[in-house]
Structure 1
Amino acid sequence: MSKFDEIRYFHDQEVNEALGSVSRDPMMKALMNFTFPDTDEQIWLEQFKNIHSISDFQRHFIAQTVRQILTKSSDGLTTSGFDQLDKNTPYLFISNHRDIVLDTSLLNLALLESGHIMTASAIGDNLVGRKFLNILAKLNRNFLVQRGLSLRDQLKSSQIMSEYIEQQLHQEKRSVWIAQREGRAKDGNDATQQGVLKMLAMAAGDQSLTDYFKFLKIVPISISYEYDPTDSLKMPQLLAKHREEEYIKGKNEDFTTMLSGILGQKKRIHLHAGHVIDKELDDIAATIENKNKQLQAVAQIIDDSIIRNYKLWPTKFIAYDLLHNTQTYASQYTEQEKQLFIRRLEMRIDPSDPVSKEYFLSMYANPLINKIKIEESFSE
């Protein structure tokens, strides 16, 4: 027994048996029919018998699933910044969080195709409650973030996760992906939660916070979808917050959101890998003594990188102009792109409700608004 057993993904020697246990699950059949639409079921069932590692499963099956998702529901994935990373170095990727499954899946495809180390990725255990999803997640090198714990258990769980991430990076030489916050940014405002950084620092031991974060080799990742396939699904929670009401998730809401994120139209997608946060940590160590303020400063550096390197698609400029009833960014989009976006808005929310309209447009416009703010602060 290992202290990591409750959260870890499968060891390679467990993969074949685990895959066999779900190979005839109807959800696996649906997944494989989507991935290999012209392939007989018996062919992939036979191929499963030869899968003896997570790497095998990811390369031969999951990577193809993600490529198929891109073909069916997007106009393609572009990347930048990955050529600046060393192919043999494990990194801690901290990214903005838009989609439950795709954020990390697209990163891993980009890493695989550019010859980099793929990640162990954090996923909330609330998202993989079904047996099939739990096994599929662990076959895809996901480790579990335990949700809904008491305060005491939460502290213990955070300590274990912090040590697990450190072990992955420095003993397993495995890159790690974690979102900058718990849950997706539903309003388009990408901000790193200090609690995520506090959790990471729990395994620092005798090292100073800044030395330990240098040791982790943090790389901020900016992910940008032209269309958010779950935009309308995020609206009830945003409107409940506006009305100061408690929002209670529906029974299958997470699963519905996962499917919508995977199958819904995204148009163009861009992933940018920022540079390793290093010298900035020396500056923080030299100028800030208080640990909480150091954490704030690190969060700000991650946020600045994510927002500045966020690809602004025409939808962001259109939403800004519609929100502010202006033509400020009219040169950034065509009239056809604008009409398509307006049609989408009218199909996905009640356009006669000014609050819904404002929240929907803000969701798309906020990355642009935040980028303007950061650029203004840097030019002062």
Structure 2
Amino acid sequence: MSKFDKIRPYYDAEVNGALREAIQHPMMKAMMQFAYPDVEESIWKEQLLRTHSIRDFQINFAYQAVKKIIETTSDGLTTSGFEKLEPNTAYFFISNHRDIILDTSLLNVCLFDHGLVMTASAIGDNLVKKDFLLKLSKLNRNFLVQRNLPPRELLQSSKLLAEYMYHLISRENRSVWIAQREGRTKDGNDATHQGVLKMIAMASDEANTMDFFKKIKLIPVSISYEYDPTDALKMPQLMAEANDQIYIKEKNEDFITLLSGIIGQKKRIHIHVGDCLNHEIDTIKAATDNANKQIQALAQVIDDSILQSYKLWPTNFIAYDLLHATSIYSSKYTEKEKQLFERRLELRINADDAKQKESFLAMYANPVINKLKYTTIEPV
């Protein structure tokens, strides 16, 4: 048994067998009817049964499904920075995280459209407890991050995960995607958790960890949605945290959030890939040889890239103005856009609850506040 079997996606030799097991599942039928509304069931089933590799599944089925999601639930996807990436080259993408499935699915659509290596992507095992979802994730080249383990097992699991990601980059020439923190950003404040970087570095075979980060070609990714389709679903946890309460998820909450992210309205979406951080890593290495300070500095460099390149939408400026009872950025949106946003707020939360309203607005306003730390945003 390979030591990565617990967490890896399918090998190509396993793909057809998994598809044969999943083909009769109602969710497979729903997914195919969504992606191919004009294709007879017998035809897509025949095509699935002829699929023998992850790449074929991703290009012929998953890619089409994500394109359909963009077409039906958004006003379009734009990109920047991809032209700087080299073809046939594996990169280690570290990204802000807003949506369970779409963040990485959209990135892979962009990578494929630009003729670049698609990613293997991290996903929490808590999100794929249902057998069909686990199969689908492994068919989409997801690898599992094991959650809720006792400390000793967590350490072993983290080391295994780090080794697997490095194996993908160094041995398979496969790009890797991981979120900058455990779990999605709920309050709009994207921040890199140092623990994620320390985990990645567990696979290091270099005397200095910064040399390892340079070797894996670290690329920050910033993704922004004009409307967060799961904004209202994030409120209970934000409210619990605001009241210093421990938040306990409802049964099936992750699945409902996953589904809402896919089918919910997003308006416009933008993905920016930053520069490879080799120059910044050299600067960090020259500044200090303290490992903790190096990790701290690297987290800051990633944050700087993600926050500065985050695409701001009218919704962000509307929320900023409403939160601060000002009209300083009124030139950044129309009256109609403001009315639509206020209507969304009224429909999705209890707008009479001051704390809820403040948290909802802050979720959209915080990217503006964060960008203001780096640059002046002219209200013109």
Q: Over residues 174-221 of structure 1, what are the superposed CA-to-partner deviations in whole Å (9 max), with x where a residue is unaligned?
A: 000000000000000000011100010001123311100000101000
> Paired residue for 2:136?
136
Matched to 2:131, the amino acid is: K
> Paired residue for 2:297?
297
Structure 2 residue matching 1:143: 3-state secondary structure: strand
> Paired residue for 2:187?
187
Query: Displacement of 1:33 after TM fit?
Result: 1.1
Query: Displacement of 1:88 after TM fit?
Result: 1.6
State the alpha-carbon separation in 2 of the partners of residues 194 and 186 from structure 1. Answer: 18
Which consecutive residues of structure 2, in runs of 5 or more, have no partner in the other structure? none
2:255 pairs with 1:288: no
State the alpha-carbon separation in 2 of the partners of residues 269 and 71 from structure 1. Answer: 11
- Report matched runs for 1:225-236 at 5 Å: 225-236=225-236
State the alpha-carbon separation in 1 of the partners of residues 39 and 282 from structure 2. Answer: 54
State the alpha-carbon separation in 2 of the partners of residues 25 and 334 from structure 1. Answer: 45
Identity of aligned residues (%): 62
> Paired residue for 1:91?
91
State the alpha-carbon separation in 2 of the partners of residues 113 and 204 from structure 1. Answer: 32
Structure 1 residue matching 2:203: 3-state secondary structure: coil
State the alpha-carbon separation in 2 of the partners of residues 333 and 361 from structure 1. Answer: 16
State the alpha-carbon separation in 2 of the partners of residues 97 and 358 from structure 1. Answer: 22
2:149 pairs with 1:149: yes
CA contact (8 A) 2:206 2:212 kept: no
* Equivalences, count: 376
Structure 1 residue matching 2:375: 3-state secondary structure: helix
> Paired residue for 2:340?
340
Matched to 1:234, the amino acid is: K
2:36 pairs with 1:36: yes
Q: Over residues 50-82 of structure 1, what are the superposed CA-to-partner deviations in whole Å (9 max), with x where a residue is unaligned?
A: 101000000000000001101110001000000
State the alpha-carbon separation in 2 of the partners of residues 50 and 233 from structure 1. Answer: 39
Which consecutive residues of structure 1, in runs of 5 or more, have no partner in the other structure? none
2:119 pairs with 1:105: no
State the alpha-carbon separation in 2 of the partners of residues 288 and 366 from structure 1. Answer: 31
Matched to 2:357, the amino acid is: K
- Report matched runs for 1:318-329 at 5 Å: 318-329=318-329
2:246 pairs with 1:246: yes
- Report matched runs for 1:1-380 at 5 Å: 1-375=1-375
Runs of 4+ displaced beyond 3 Å: none
Matched to 2:115, the amino acid is: G
Matched to 2:109, the amino acid is: L
Q: Over residues 30-60 of structure 1, what are the superposed CA-to-partner deviations in whole Å (9 max), with x where a residue is unaligned?
A: 1111111121111111001210100000000
Q: Structure 1-normalised TM-score?
A: 0.98
RMSD over aligned CA atoms reads: 0.7
Matched to 1:341, the amino acid is: F
Query: Displacement of 1:260 after TM fit?
Result: 0.4
Matched to 2:35, the amino acid is: T
Query: Displacement of 1:235 after TM fit?
Result: 0.2
Query: Displacement of 1:374 after TM fit?
Result: 2.8
State the alpha-carbon separation in 2 of the partners of residues 346 and 375 from structure 1. Answer: 32
State the alpha-carbon separation in 2 of the partners of residues 72 and 313 from structure 1. Answer: 20
